[in-house]
Chain A
Amino acid sequence: MRSATSLRQSSAPNVAGPGHTPLRHLLSVSDLGADGIEEILRVTDTFVEVSGRAIPKVPALRGKTVVSLFFEDSTRTRLSFETAARRLSADVMTFSVSGSSVGKGESLRDTVETIEAMGIDGVVVRHGGSGVPWQVAGWLHQAAVINGGDGSHEHPTQALLDCYTITRTLSARAGARPTGLAADPTGRGRSLDGVRIGIVGDIRHSRVARSDVLAFTALGAQVVLVAPPTLLPPSLVGWPVQVSHDIEAVLPTLDVVYLLRLQQERMHEALLPSLREYTATYGLTRDRARLLSEDALIMHPGPVNRGVEIAAEVADQASSVITRQVANGVAVRMAVLYLLLGSGVDLAA
């Protein structure tokens, strides 16, 4: 096992909360720090309550316009953001590459500047190239940028909804209502202290894994990455994680097992011999799932390759919180949009 101590923290963390500089964009989990993450999770509690109402809608972002700027197909993430924006009463515009002039050779910058000229308040950017949300943020003058997933880099709202799902499931099970432990300014008692999380699969290409490692460890979790060497990043210097190539040894030690989607095209890059061998060596099969402790959570960012990284019946068993992740996704994104675009708006209005 390899381990290391500190991931890079943003030099001046923007924390959304009273007494702090308001967050302008949400590009990386490292922009938030533990306090910022906990703040978003607390606000998410409010929106989970809103989502349970007969009319799950509040006027917090009435008059604001949110654009989803998706250069990569992702129906789930886009719908989750758009649903969140609508439940906050924002106007929503969808920009997808196929129906736009990007296909006609319009540059990324022109696209972004054109959209901002229409008078928008927030833009959710999804792009296959790592770093594009940073470039977009540099070209915009007013609008807030939310990283909806960039290349193999980050997917911060996925990490936030994962943190929300884990912390709230564990605290509900413990019989306590969520208390927002990290409100403690001394930094003691972070909400994933002592929780051991295994992330299994294609870490190398995964934006979910990069954001999750930052978020889980910021909240105090121990993270172990489980993957064949070809699916790990070339360097793990600065990653506060352990590494294992033996899923069966790791599973009994975990409170949470997080499976990543395995892309079929990895086979063409000589990263793996076959899907079959991957499933045989790293898949969460029914037999392996029995190695987990009874109350360990099973998670997946979706969409699931049933029978590849996880057996169908395992994905559906009671300890799987995969659909809860999706439900929490809307509330977390409401919290992010609210904190970026609607600060000062009274939620009770």
Chain B
Amino acid sequence: MVSAGNRVESTPAGTVVLDAGGCLVAPGLVDLHTHLREPGREETETVETGSRSAALGGYTAVVAMPNTDPAIDSAATVRQVLDLGRDALCDVAVAGAITIGRAGTRLAPLAEMAALGVKLFTDDGSGVQDARLMRRALEYASSLGVTLAQHCEDSSLAAGGHMHEGEWSSRLGIPGQPAEAEELMVMRDLALCRLTGTPVHFLHLSTAGSIAMLRGAKASGLPVTAEATPHHLSLTDECVAGYDTVYKVNPPLRTEADVAAVRAGLADGTIDAIATDHAPHSQESKEAPFDQAPPGMIGLETALAVALTELDLPVERVVALLSWQPAAIAGLSEHGLSITAGAPANLCIIDPEIEWTVDPSRMASRSRNSPFAGRTLRGRVRHTVLAGEPVVVNGQAQR
């Protein structure tokens, strides 16, 4: 960044000028929770397609989740994904697995991965079930300056559940997983955080009970952070009534009261970040019976608009939840910075008032499983600038 302000006196010849009339110039967005699917599931997403999707959504950095095939549980796989991200349309950071193969039995080489710059570790897709192993992971990680992130789900209580357990699952005859399956692990990990002192980040919190516990934990000074997804702040389990598998996701869509709690948590700072949990799946795999379809939704190209449309918060607060707060959790020091001369130009230029209709067939993601298809949303990214390069101009990816 050469200079910042409302007036630029002179530009060198050959400078690209982006029209930001009516727009908000914000630091680039940062996604703490992206499934880029590479290696192993390239038919649904790759680092290239996922990062293009991210750039179109205003992101200048994403954290790639390790539930790939093979899992990102070694220095070699970390290097592979970082290499793939080298010339991507956004910066690609990597979260490493806590356990080998995400199998929940043996610690993965956390120090070796941390040495390559990995700041977040998680077995996301499932939670670490064994309390003793999780305690050891937190203790071991305490010397590494990293954060462990948990997908909170007690697998024995959630077993066989394909949606939120409650009024709708009972009517629809779909086995559910109760809110308590998430809350039990939140409760346990708050206890383990207290025991070990290692920072814990809570992924995609979805229940009122989880958020209430987080609020108490923060008040008592525990080093905890939390994220919520665009779909958990906007959609309920009633969406499943037509058996459309696009609404199958884990954690599942919950009740109105849970949605209200997520929004309240975002408003009062209990929840630090909005993270997409962008989870691409092929159309064929989603065209299965509800109880056989894989859980997950894409979200990179709609997250900002869903947040601006659905949340009754000032735009600066929405950008905080999408940019500098997640950047701080991910330890991404070049992102989410205030816009001043000398800072790296990772920017997103947002038209906050434009209305548009979500059309998954026009997305850059390789998958189409958006729960917001057909919805009219307000606010959209006009340009995205990555380290000074305009990678998205007027809503078009430049490469």
Contact = CB atoms under 8 A, between A and B. Distances in A.
Contact of B172 (A7, A131, A205): A131
Contacts of A236: 170
A131 B173 CA distance: 8
A209 B14 CA distance: 73
Contacts of B169: 234-235
A115 B116 CA distance: 54
B171 A207 contact: no
A130 B178 contact: no
Contacts of A235: 165-167, 169-170
Sorting the interface of chain B by its residue count into under 10, 10 to 19, 20 to 34 or 35 or more gives 20 to 34
Contacts of B165: 234-235
Interface residues of A, number: 28
A207 B171 CA distance: 10
Contacts of A233: 170-171
A134 B174 CA distance: 14
B243 A234 contact: no
B289 interface: yes
A127 B289 CA distance: 9
Most buried by A among B174, B178, B243, B290: B243
Contacts of B166: 234-235, 237
Contacts, number: 71
Most buried by A among B165, B173, B174, B290: B173
Given A150-B173, A210-B171, A234-B169, A108 B242 contact: no
B170 A234 contact: yes
Contacts of A150: 173
Contacts of A119: none
Interface string B157-177: 000000001110111111110
Nearest to A133: B243
Interface in B171-211: 171-176, 178
Contact of B171 (A8, A128, A129): A8
Nearest to A232: B170
A164 to B, nearest CB: 23
B173 A154 contact: yes
Interface string A233-250: 111111100000000000
Interface of A: 7-8, 107-109, 127-132, 134-135, 150-154, 205, 207, 210, 233-239
Interface of B: 165-167, 169-176, 178, 242-243, 284, 287-292
29 contacts: A107-B284, A108-B288, A109-B287, A127-B289, A129-B291, A129-B292, A130-B172, A130-B173, A131-B172, A131-B174, A131-B289, A132-B243, A132-B289, A134-B242, A134-B243, A135-B289, A151-B174, A152-B174, A152-B175, A153-B172, A154-B173, A207-B173, A210-B171, A210-B173, A234-B170, A235-B167, A235-B169, A235-B170, A238-B167
